[in-house]
Chains A and B, each alone.
Chain A
């Protein structure tokens, strides 16, 4: 998830797309990835190289490419949509690619980047998500067993505050900086004119370049990525909610997709001389009357609808009490004889 928009936040989009590329390279297909981007970089009028997003200076690697599948783009990246994807409370008309169809055997990797603060993460410069809301969303996922294990990586300023409030089991969290520290960006590119990546994600990607689908590297190595000398901020991690020892957790458990397979040793014995079911042509289904266009919106009804009468509710206790106090004080202070002036 990239939670920023506008040209000067180029590095957040490059961060997200680079992690997306790594995850695809290690085997996770697009049908299993939900990518939320503001997607205003590649075709931005200020982009000197249109239709590209570079993650390294000298423009070595175009992470935008031609097979990026963005599921939520532009103004669809909101806190509400993000929480809907996580908890599954999605309107029934949402297509399959925009849903998180995980079950109790799924390992989920969540990577978020953008601008953040102590306890919140800013979404598209107009709203924010707090760490409590995020923790509650994860608890909702756990209640419905929508994940087996969850890895949460966040690359923002004061990122460690976002995982402080988690309380559901089987969650491991990594952040690029502690509370009170800022996450810094890596290097600007003079040709494009903006910073291309953040330091923490840059070093995480260097680490991931060496991982291939069969590698046995474990999580402890990921915790060592980007020490303070390189990153300037202190990356943090949280493993107390996780049941397994991070030593035994493979990187490919989250970043790649290695399935359990079993050799099939049984066969069914079928009788070959069996006549199949002839598919009956359902004659009664042939349209007997001309098909009419179904009214999607009852426009006539909507236009002529009277505004709904809102039920009147008496004012609540707090307001009544406040007004009673004000009136009582006024008349006590200035005397009852002023009433006739009021009325």
Chain B
């Protein structure tokens, strides 16, 4: 279990639309092909990716769907005809001259698990594009290496590889409204409605990955720890990028979190600045105001500043009533939630067009992306935990292992083996569930309170305890032994003397 040898199998179907079949196919359609890619992590662990590709031509229904006017409609029509198992990919190849894809775009990635690819002339060019598609839609070497970041030697990792949320069985999300100036603003936010309308669909989609619990709170007289600077040109207050790290701590002391749950907490704060500091904008490193007026901290959460418009007449009665536009706020918070999980759309090649996932928050293939990373991370965590538990028990011989700890260990080993097997068969869902069970069992076994070892006796303490007890007792025994030996020797000499 110490070395992680995992094979990630991605079942792929490459469907050729009419007029898109390249001339240099090695065999007539349909045929299967396998491509392997090695992602070596360190000396003992290695991950190989295996793309099992099935090349075939379109069925009649698929042809009809590909005849749609835009790529989005085609994608919607193709969705019921596809393989929807987690982890699988379907790519539809359209002719080079097809108008389905806009000019300059060679790949359209839909909301589900399919992509439309423009034929590249030869099979090799098509395969190069298909490789790019799999890099975007399933996993890349760097995303797998980031998931295994515990095992990768530090020098080889990119500096931000470890900033995404670690795989956990559950997450707690807390929405907080910070109102430092209740005398000037009475802020009303319909958080319950917003959670029902915008957040729940996203969390339902993510429910496969973990359990989520949501709470919300309003904090009064909670100030940011930093005083913003007044900028005459824009007549607004500015928070510069290098003062942002100091904003979070004074607030965190007041945020609180559920005493019962041990899941990682994600905090999303909405700050309504005081009247004397309005409007407040966040500046990025180049001094330009940020369009979202928000920033986030990896593994912690995000903060958004919500500016209240100055009242029409200066004599308006305070406090002003503020109705927060929850949709705008949730657009930012949900985007931050995606970024915290590592689902960013920034590193996509320019000729790709990605369909926006809409209210679901993330596309099916992004969910797969998370599941691949989390499954590999879980398997690596379980193997490290079990190995170190075995080393601990080897080193300290007198720890008693209770039966339930032993059964958790057996269960963890069985689950992790089944997870690896399922991955090599291409069943991502089953593999992920098995890896979650393995993590639960191994953590329960490792952190069992009965495994605490407090019995270290240094050698000089052992001597100090046993010598006063045994030395007086040993003196007569030793003397008697000496006497016995002397007597036996004498008796041996005597018979010869008697003769």
A267 in contact (CB, < 8 A): yes
Known A31-B256, A130-B456, A266-B345; further 8 A-B contacts with Cβ < 8 A: A84-B449, A105-B299, A143-B384, A144-B446, A264-B292, A266-B346, A270-B331, A277-B201
Q: What's the least CB distance linking B238 to chain A, in Å? A: 13
Given the complex of chains A and B, what is the CA–CA distance between A257 and B260 in angstroms?
Answer: 25
Given the complex of chains A and B, what is the CA–CA distance between A273 and B346 in angstroms?
Answer: 28
Given the complex of chains A and B, what is the CA–CA distance between A329 and B361 in angstroms?
Answer: 85
Partner of B331, one of A267, A325, A326: A267
Given the complex of chains A and B, what is the CA–CA distance between A23 and B248 in angstroms?
Answer: 16
Given the complex of chains A and B, what is the CA–CA distance between A268 and B249 in angstroms?
Answer: 27
Shortest Cβ distance from A87 into B: residue: B452
A213 in contact (CB, < 8 A): yes
B135 in contact (CB, < 8 A): no
Q: Which residues between 192 and 214 of chain A lie within 8 Å of chain B, taking CB atoms?
A: 213-214
A262 in contact (CB, < 8 A): yes
Given the complex of chains A and B, what is the CA–CA distance between A87 and B453 in angstroms?
Answer: 11
Partner of A258, one of B246, B282, B298, B331: B246
- Is A260 touching B330 in the complex (CB atoms < 8 A)? no
- Is B477 touching A329 in the complex (CB atoms < 8 A)? yes
- Is A101 touching B259 in the complex (CB atoms < 8 A)? no
- Is A95 touching B452 in the complex (CB atoms < 8 A)? no
- Is B259 touching A95 in the complex (CB atoms < 8 A)? yes
Given the complex of chains A and B, what is the CA–CA distance between A260 and B242 in angstroms?
Answer: 10
B35 in contact (CB, < 8 A): no
- Is B327 touching A96 in the complex (CB atoms < 8 A)? no
Taking Cβ atoms with an 8 Å cutoff, the residues of B that contact A are 149-150, 154, 162-163, 166, 193, 196-198, 200-201, 225, 241, 244-246, 248-250, 252-253, 256-262, 282, 284, 290-292, 294-300, 302, 304, 327, 330-332, 334-336, 338-339, 344-346, 356-359, 361, 384-385, 388, 391-392, 446-449, 451-454, 456, 458, 477, 480-481, 483-484
Q: Which residues between 252 and 274 of chain A lie within 8 Å of chain B, taking CB atoms?
A: 257-272, 274
- Is B245 touching A119 in the complex (CB atoms < 8 A)? no
Residues of B contacting A188 with CB < 8 Å?
Answer: none
- Is A144 touching B456 in the complex (CB atoms < 8 A)? no
Partner of A31, one of B225, B257, B297, B332: B257
- Is A99 touching B452 in the complex (CB atoms < 8 A)? no
Given the complex of chains A and B, what is the CA–CA distance between A210 and B336 in angstroms?
Answer: 36
Partner of A264, one of B302, B327, B359: B302
Partner of A263, one of B241, B261, B385, B456: B241
A278 in contact (CB, < 8 A): yes
A29 in contact (CB, < 8 A): yes
- Is A133 touching B339 in the complex (CB atoms < 8 A)? no
Q: What's the least CB distance linking A323 to chain B, in Å? A: 11
Residues of A contacting B391 with CB < 8 Å?
Answer: 143
- Is B361 touching A268 in the complex (CB atoms < 8 A)? yes
A292 in contact (CB, < 8 A): no
**Contact string, A90-111, partner B, CB cutoff 8 A, digits 1/0?**
1100011101010111000000
- Is B359 touching A333 in the complex (CB atoms < 8 A)? no
- Is A259 touching B300 in the complex (CB atoms < 8 A)? yes
**Contact string, A227-269, partner B, CB cutoff 8 A, digits 1/0?**
0000000000000000100000000000001111111111111
Shortest Cβ distance from B488 into A: residue: A332
Given the complex of chains A and B, what is the CA–CA distance between A83 and B454 in angstroms?
Answer: 9
Residues of A contacting B388 with CB < 8 Å?
Answer: 140, 143-144
Given the complex of chains A and B, what is the CA–CA distance between A88 and B392 in angstroms?
Answer: 15
A276 in contact (CB, < 8 A): yes
Partner of A29, one of B163, B252, B334: B252
A222 in contact (CB, < 8 A): no
Residues of A contacting B456 with CB < 8 Å?
Answer: 130, 132-133, 136
Residues of B contacting A276 with CB < 8 Å?
Answer: 193, 196-197, 200
Q: What's the least CB distance linking A56 to chain B, in Å? A: 25
Residues of A contacting B262 with CB < 8 Å?
Answer: 96, 99, 101
- Is A274 touching B359 in the complex (CB atoms < 8 A)? yes
A275 in contact (CB, < 8 A): yes
Q: Which 4 A-B pairs have the closest CB atoms?
A: A276-B197, A276-B196, A143-B388, A27-B249
Q: What's the least CB distance linking B438 to chain A, in Å? A: 15
The total of Cβ contacts below 8 Å across the A-B interface reads 178
A46 in contact (CB, < 8 A): no
Residues of B contacting A274 with CB < 8 Å?
Answer: 197-198, 201, 359
- Is B452 touching A83 in the complex (CB atoms < 8 A)? yes
Interface size on A, residues (CB 8 A): 62
Partner of B458, one of A132, A279, A326: A132
- Is B483 touching A333 in the complex (CB atoms < 8 A)? yes
Shortest Cβ distance from A278 into B: residue: B196
- Is B295 touching A261 in the complex (CB atoms < 8 A)? yes
Q: What's the least CB distance linking A291 to chain B, in Å? A: 20
**Contact string, A320-343, partner B, CB cutoff 8 A, digits 1/0?**
000001100110110000000000
Q: What's the least CB distance linking B338 to chain A, in Å? A: 7
Residues of A contacting B252 with CB < 8 Å?
Answer: 29, 31
- Is A261 touching B452 in the complex (CB atoms < 8 A)? no
Given the complex of chains A and B, what is the CA–CA distance between A136 and B452 in angstroms?
Answer: 11
Q: What's the least CB distance linking B443 to chain A, in Å? A: 9
Given the complex of chains A and B, what is the CA–CA distance between A325 and B484 in angstroms?
Answer: 13
Q: What's the least CB distance linking A222 to chain B, in Å? A: 21
Q: What's the least CB distance linking B175 to chain A, in Å? A: 15
Contact (A214, B197) CB under 8 Å given A99-B262, A105-B162: no
- Is A260 touching B163 in the complex (CB atoms < 8 A)? yes
Shortest Cβ distance from B290 into A: residue: A263
- Is B257 touching A130 in the complex (CB atoms < 8 A)? no
- 29 A-B interface contacts by CB (under 8 A): A89-B447, A89-B448, A89-B452, A96-B262, A119-B458, A130-B456, A133-B453, A133-B456, A140-B388, A143-B385, A214-B246, A259-B297, A260-B163, A261-B245, A263-B290, A264-B339, A266-B338, A266-B345, A267-B331, A267-B332, A268-B334, A268-B361, A270-B331, A270-B334, A270-B358, A274-B197, A276-B193, A325-B477, A333-B484
Q: What's the least CB distance linking B133 to chain A, in Å? A: 22
Given the complex of chains A and B, what is the CA–CA distance between A84 and B449 in angstroms?
Answer: 8
A179 in contact (CB, < 8 A): no
A80 in contact (CB, < 8 A): yes
Given the complex of chains A and B, what is the CA–CA distance between A306 and B344 in angstroms?
Answer: 64
Residues of B contacting A91 with CB < 8 Å?
Answer: 449
A30 in contact (CB, < 8 A): yes
- Is B295 touching A145 in the complex (CB atoms < 8 A)? no
Residues of A contacting B295 with CB < 8 Å?
Answer: 261-264
A79 in contact (CB, < 8 A): yes
Q: What's the least CB distance linking A335 to chain B, in Å? A: 11
Given the complex of chains A and B, what is the CA–CA distance between A186 and B475 in angstroms?
Answer: 52
Shortest Cβ distance from A212 into B: residue: B246
A151 in contact (CB, < 8 A): no
Q: What's the least CB distance linking B207 to chain A, in Å? A: 13
- Is A260 touching B458 in the complex (CB atoms < 8 A)? no
Given the complex of chains A and B, what is the CA–CA distance between A329 and B299 in angstroms?
Answer: 72
- Is A266 touching B327 in the complex (CB atoms < 8 A)? no
